[in-house]
Amino acid sequence: MTESAKRRPNIVMILTDDHASQAIGAYGSPYNATPRIDEIGQEGWRFENCFVTNALCSPSRASILTGTYSHINGVTTLVTPIDAAQPTFITQLREAGYRTAMVGKWHMGEGEGHNPQGFDYWDVLVGHDGQGEYWDPLFLSEDGERTVEGYATDIITDLAMSWVDGLEGDDPWCVLIYHKAPHRPWEPKPEHAALFTDKIPVPETFDDDYSTRSSSMRRALMRLTENLNMDDLKQEPPASLTYDELSLWKYQRYMEDYLACVASVDDNVGRVTDWLRARGDFDDTMLMYVSDQGFFLGEHGWFDKRFMYEESLRMPLLLSYPNGLAGGQTFDGIVTNVDFAQTLLDAAGVEAHPRMQGHSFWADIRGEATQPRPAGMYYRYWEHDDTFHKAPAHYGYRSERYKLIYYYNDGLGLPGTGPYVYPAEWELFDLQTDPNELRNVYDEPDYLAIRESLKRDMWAEQERVGDKPHSSQPVLVGN
Ligand code: CA
């Protein structure tokens, strides 16, 4: 360990919106190469089992910032704005002398009480309910609103780097670079738009017939063929296609733009890495690449996220800090977005806020862990039956091998949810024999014992994090 390792690290968190690990080279993408994102993992760690606790933009951002679950931080849906006065890892870092900044897509509400707090500098996308624009985006900062000409992914990177370049003195800094890309409606830069016009491979579960699965999942309006709109597709499909041909045409159109938006992200991640190196800060900086959740890229015939299925549950996470961490490593233990706050605070040598609920993985990646990682993780999706996606409210528990899901199908009157309540349903998947989650084994006799044991684990974790079972939940015997 060098002398400089005693220096507190700078922190750069690059967060993208809806970037599935299936579309990252380091995670074995069959679709695209992402050399600059992959490089972070080569210089440090690639996490194989990083999961989101509520697979939706605003809730994931709130969990990352506060180190708490949705029922604690209050951001359960897309339209439950954050109380920005909550303690966050940013407020803790700032108290400890870090300079702090937030640039890009905030998406946790706008206005008094909801705009970013605890940052020395913040400059965030506004408009379209906080989604922002790809081109000539509108920003809000303490100086008010302004339009910045250009492409959002480039601009967000530029603003973040300029802020750091303007700092004086030796105190460490932390900058959050939160991109809009590759979120819907997938508007690429012209220079990337034609990169993926060759026929894109179709995932194995594209034609999923949903047999053995719940009616809850079948209700979702996330079908590529039926539910993408003209803003998404940007072209009328050719006339006289059969249904199957139309499906494939839409899939191709969707993926071309999605992957082209990712190409710009990869370029801009490279710009940040090169800039850190040029400043001489790369080795002293904790550089993270992560997406706010995963995404369906045609698996189960879907786009979007929300479900506890692997493609949306799984977050890509790559992290480097050469002076503090070994390089070329992979981490298989279970980590979640709730764990990030405490991990970053640990890396900075700053106390976590007592309200934070995660399990820091700093000791794990330093090779200093004194206890094993949690055996599973608790998930809850609250935005039941929203107008556009009709995804069911559910919670569940994922262990290394199994996944238990309880669709309680009730919006509980929360903003953003639909009024209809449907009968509760269960799903259970054995990820070892069925990694694509095509066979619900909840009612199979061979799985009875494991199913009841998973329920107990789920309950225990639900209780530990202070969440409450839905009223429809059957009471466990002998718990
Ligand atoms: Ca998202």
Distance of alpha carbon 306 from the chain centroid:
11
pLDDT single digits (tens) 419-468: 999 999 999 999 999 999 999 999 999 999 999 999 999 999 999 999 99
pLDDT single digits (tens) 265-294: 999 999 999 999 999 999 999 999 999 999
Q: Is it the case that residue 70 has pLDDT exceeding 60?
A: yes
pLDDT single digits (tens) 154-179: 999 999 999 999 999 999 999 999 99
Closest C-alpha among 478, 292, 282, 470 to residue 384: 470
* Cα-to-centroid distance, 449 and ligand 1 (Å): 36
Residue 316 tokens read as: 């890509």
* Cα-to-centroid distance, 107 and ligand 1 (Å): 10
- One domain, residues 323 and 299: yes
Domain contains 432? yes
pLDDT band, residue 129 (cuts 50/70/90): confident
Indicate which CATH number applies to the domain containing 108: 3.40.720.10
Domain contains 199? no
What residues have a C-beta under 5 A from ligand 1, the ion? Answer: 17-18, 57, 292
pLDDT single digits (tens) 379-432: 999 999 999 999 999 999 999 999 999 999 999 999 999 999 999 999 999 999
* Cα-to-centroid distance, 17 and ligand 1 (Å): 4
Distance of CA 297 to CAs 114, 173, 234, 404, Å?
32, 36, 18, 23
* Cα-to-centroid distance, 3 and ligand 1 (Å): 39
pLDDT for 477 equals: 57
Domain contains 244? no
* Cα-to-centroid distance, 179 and ligand 1 (Å): 10
Beta-bridge partner residues of 53 = none
Average pLDDT score over residue span 119-129: 94
pLDDT for 478 equals: 52
Domain contains 221? no
Among 350, 375, 400, identify where a domain stops.
375
Number of domains into which the chain is organized: 2
Domain contains 201? no
Q: Is it the case that residue 5 has pLDDT exceeding 50?
A: no
- One domain, residues 70 and 89: yes
* Cα-to-centroid distance, 292 and ligand 1 (Å): 5
Where does residue 112 rank: exposed (0-12), middle (13-18), buried (19+ CB within 10 A)? Answer: exposed
d(CA 211, CA 197): 33
Residue 115 tokens read as: 């705009």
Beta-bridge partner residues of 314 = 51
* Cα-to-centroid distance, 377 and ligand 1 (Å): 20
Contact between 264 and 192 under an 8 Å Cβ cutoff? The reply is yes
* Cα-to-centroid distance, 397 and ligand 1 (Å): 21
* Cα-to-centroid distance, 185 and ligand 1 (Å): 12
Percent of the chain with pLDDT strictly greater than 90: 96
Average pLDDT score over residue span 198-222: 98
Among 375, 390, 416, identify where a domain stops.
375
pLDDT for 3 equals: 45
pLDDT band, residue 476 (cuts 50/70/90): low
What does the angle CA 196 – CA 151 – CA 63 come to, to the nearest 5 degrees?
90
* Cα-to-centroid distance, 293 and ligand 1 (Å): 6
- One domain, residues 362 and 289: yes
Average pLDDT score over residue span 194-210: 97
- One domain, residues 134 and 172: yes
Domain contains 477? no
- One domain, residues 366 and 388: no
- One domain, residues 307 and 456: no
Q: State residue 378 phi and psi, 5-degree precision.
A: -100, 135
Domain contains 215? no
Eight-state DSSP code of residue 49: S
* Cα-to-centroid distance, 413 and ligand 1 (Å): 23
Mean pLDDT, the chain, integer: 96
* Cα-to-centroid distance, 309 and ligand 1 (Å): 15
d(CA 410, CA 423): 9
Indicate which CATH number applies to the domain containing 460: 3.30.1120.10
* Cα-to-centroid distance, 54 and ligand 1 (Å): 10
- One domain, residues 279 and 153: yes
Q: Is it the case that residue 186 has pLDDT exceeding 60?
A: yes
- One domain, residues 403 and 429: yes
Least trusted range by pLDDT, from 17-26, 122-131, 248-257, 300-309: 122-131
- One domain, residues 371 and 442: no
Domain contains 246? no
Q: Which domain holds residue 264?
A: 4-189+252-375
Average pLDDT score over residue span 6-25: 96
- One domain, residues 103 and 152: yes
Average pLDDT score over residue span 352-375: 97
Among 328, 349, 375, identify where a domain stops.
375
* Cα-to-centroid distance, 263 and ligand 1 (Å): 17
- One domain, residues 413 and 293: no
Q: Is it the case that residue 309 has pLDDT exceeding 80?
A: yes
* Cα-to-centroid distance, 55 and ligand 1 (Å): 7
* Cα-to-centroid distance, 194 and ligand 1 (Å): 25
* Cα-to-centroid distance, 169 and ligand 1 (Å): 35
* Cα-to-centroid distance, 406 and ligand 1 (Å): 23
Q: Is it the case that residue 1 has pLDDT exceeding 90?
A: no
Where does residue 96 rank: exposed (0-12), middle (13-18), buried (19+ CB within 10 A)? Answer: middle
- One domain, residues 460 and 347: no
Specify the pTM.
0.97
Q: How many CB atoms are closer than 10 A to CB 95?
A: 13
pLDDT band, residue 6 (cuts 50/70/90): low
Beta-bridge partner residues of 221 = none
* Cα-to-centroid distance, 57 and ligand 1 (Å): 4
